[in-house]
Structure 1
Amino acid sequence: MARLHLVLIGLSALSSTALLSSGAPSHDGAQLLAGGGSDRLIGQSTNGRGGDSVGGGADSGVGGYDAAGLPVSETEALSIPVPVQVAGVLNRSAQVCGKLPDEYAIDCLIVHLRQAISVTPQGGKYSDVHKVLSDTVRKLDKIVAANLDDSMDRIRLKAGGATTERMRAIRPETVRRANAEAAKIVAEAETILLRSASQHAGARLDYVRIAEAVGSNKLLLRS
């Protein structure tokens, strides 16, 4: 698998020290390394925030996501099962968000959860997935809102020709406590999905797969 290069452009608030502290190598204080494709992080103005709609999250022009969580066209998405798309996005968030400065970790996860929600039907056998992920976004969004740092840039992640919602930072002094709260919420979502698996015999393995993908994000919240 090709390595993914995250290039930070115009992020005055993200110093080379911050990049190095995220555990990723840097190049001239401006490059992070992760795995799985080619992404760019683009700095935004400090005005505004991440998306407000729990059901949102799909990048403009994106029809869905592949098994690696990268955006694909609507035509391509039709051949990719819902659980593959959802698990792909959430496994990807565990990789990509973990390479950002800690202040952005929670909202980066929120952005990816919204992407997963956008391809999950509200009805049918995956209705519980939609509900659990939506509830998780609401809870995590409250944490970000309560600890928001308006002095930090909003950033967007660009991959596969699509650009995500803006990602918000929380105040540095609140990271440890906020991440601990967020980790509990993620663990709870994983547990609920695993319990729901027994209620969906025809999709039990799909629920387990998605639950594990959700749980993979707990590590990035350990600061």
Structure 2
Amino acid sequence: MHRTTLLAAALAVLASGPDPAAAQIAAPGPAHPHALAAPGLTRVTATAATTDRIVARIEAARDFCGRIAQHAYVIDCLAAHLEGVARDMPGGDYRAAGQILDRTARDLRRLAEANADPALPRGRVRVGNATSPRALTPVRPDALGRIGPQASAILQEAETQLLRSAEGSERRMVHYRRIAAAVGSTKFLMRSARLGQEQGQKVAIMRGIADLPEKSKTLSTIACDQIPTPGDRSTAT
């Protein structure tokens, strides 16, 4: 009789379906799905603080690439840094800016790769304690004078697109003007690249570092020799 009572109780529980509270606890994902829609850096209205960070990264890229003594690497250096800025760009009001910077980076990279110098290695460039985001492609000396203006035109087009993309919004325009100005400030690097074709600079390649695994050694670190001119701030090794 006792077993019959227990069996009946068990059947009643099965027939009534799972407990709603238990199902809620076991369900995957957040208990409050709307929490994912909370505003954050990826879904924001343009703010001075966010724009400050974007502009600072572009200016840091300009300063890093400007300190490379071997000018053959400058164009792809800027491309590599702008790739990172575009990749990390917040969405929302900044979405168009991210797309423009991504196209600009790709155009600069293609320009460098189409005019690559087979006599120089492709590798990461180190300036002081900082290293380029990825391996860089050097440009042939005879091509620097020709493609420097092309690279400047790519940057000028980015400035123009940034300003045009914010024309319909006064709120966004102030931020896009600042980003456009930061991009425009990098154009002097292309003039430096053209001048660099006349300089007899050297590139030292560091290979076979003992404490690195074999796979890591395939990415050479290029340390640019210091040139005894007032404008050069790269570190010799």
- TM-score range (shorter-chain normalised) is 0.5 to 0.7
2:81 is matched with 112
> How much has 1:141 moved relative to structure 2?
1.7
2:189 is matched with 220
* 8 Å contact from structure 2 (residues 64, 127) kept in 1: no
Equivalent residues, number: 144
2:156 is matched with 187
1:170 is matched with 139
- Does 2:126 align with 1:126? no
Rg (Cα) greater in structure: 2
Cα distance in 1 for residues equivalent to 2:130 and 2:140: 31
Amino acid at match of 1:180: P
1:52 is matched with none
> How much has 1:164 moved relative to structure 2?
1.8
- List runs of 5+ in structure 1 lacking aligned partners: 1-79
* 8 Å contact from structure 2 (residues 80, 132) kept in 1: no
> How much has 1:152 moved relative to structure 2?
1.5
Cα distance in 1 for residues equivalent to 2:154 and 2:185: 13
Q: CA distance change for structure 1 residues 172 and 213 in 2, over 3 Å: closer, same or farther?
A: same
More helix by share: 2
2:118 is matched with 150
Q: TM-score, normalised by structure 1?
A: 0.58
More strand by share: 1
2:186 match: secondary structure: helix
Amino acid at match of 1:140: L
> How much has 1:149 moved relative to structure 2?
1.6
* 8 Å contact from structure 2 (residues 72, 141) kept in 1: yes
Cα distance in 1 for residues equivalent to 2:127 and 2:100: 26
Amino acid at match of 1:183: S
Q: CA distance change for structure 1 residues 94 and 125 in 2, over 3 Å: closer, same or farther?
A: same
> How much has 1:214 moved relative to structure 2?
0.3
- CA RMSD in angstroms comes to 2.4
* 8 Å contact from structure 2 (residues 67, 127) kept in 1: no
2:125 match: secondary structure: strand
Amino acid at match of 1:115: G
Q: TM-score, normalised by structure 2?
A: 0.55
